[in-house]
Amino acid sequence: MNFSSKLLEDAVNEFSKLPGVGQKTALRLVLHLLNKEQEEVEHFGNAIVRLRKEIKHCNICHNISDSQICEICASNKREKEVICVVEDTRDVMAVENTSQYFGVYHVLGGLISPMDGVGPSDLFIDSLVQRVATTPVKEVILALSATMEGDTTLFYLYKRLKDFQIPITTIARGIAFGGELEYADEITLGRSIITRVPYENSLIK
């Protein structure tokens, strides 16, 4: 792609580094910004810079937050004894959008994937075990994507948590195998949360 401006080229190259954004889409986004008032573009840029500099992760659940403790963990309206374990912040948002869950979360920060070099020590698994060991917990819901990596992580978490003698459940398989939680529609995901089942029921005996 030939550019008439080095500044334009640099901006397009930066946008094209975003997931799913090719050079043509990046060029369209950059030209869109060029047609905006300078104040709007500065607001856009400042929002990105502030996001990177000021964003925090909750000290309890590891969800993205504006403060050391996220709003969900701090809320007196949430059922603190029920922990829903998810892969990342996108899955928290997906479950919240169902309006069917009123407990708290634990964000792993990924899934176990030996092919990608991601092991248990790379995730927030030890802090989950610590939460279960040190706070009153009535149930742990393993709400992970129905993928090979998700199932591997489910089995590992079950082995780490089963000795605590608390119910360990997993969302019902209304989610097709290979499907990721964030792409499930709200009704299907909501029903999967409500009709969750004991995890050991899904194990091959």
Please state the φ and ψ torsions of residue 161, each to the nearest 5 degrees: -105, -15
* pLDDT on residue 178: 45
Q: Measure the CA–CA gap between 44 and 33, rounded to whole angstroms.
A: 9
* pLDDT on residue 1: 75
* pLDDT on residue 4: 84
Only one residue has tokens 């892969």, namely 87
Distance, CA of 1 to chain centre: 35
Please state the φ and ψ torsions of residue 34, each to the nearest 5 degrees: -65, -25
Judged against a pLDDT cut of 80, whether residue 142 lies above it is answered with yes
Q: To the nearest 10°, report the CA torsion of 183, 186, 190, 191.
A: -90
Judged against a pLDDT cut of 50, whether residue 177 lies above it is answered with no
Judged against a pLDDT cut of 90, whether residue 182 lies above it is answered with no
* pLDDT on residue 52: 92
Q: Hey, what domains does the chain have and what are their CATH numbers?
A: 6-54 (1.10.8.420), 78-202 (3.40.1360.10)
Give the E-state strand segments of the chain in sequence order: 56-57, 64-65, 79-86, 103-107, 139-142, 168-170, 197-198
* pLDDT on residue 41: 96
Q: pTM here?
A: 0.78
Q: Measure the CA–CA gap between 3 and 1, rounded to whole angstroms.
A: 6
Judged against a pLDDT cut of 90, whether residue 125 lies above it is answered with yes
Average pLDDT over residues 58-82: 96
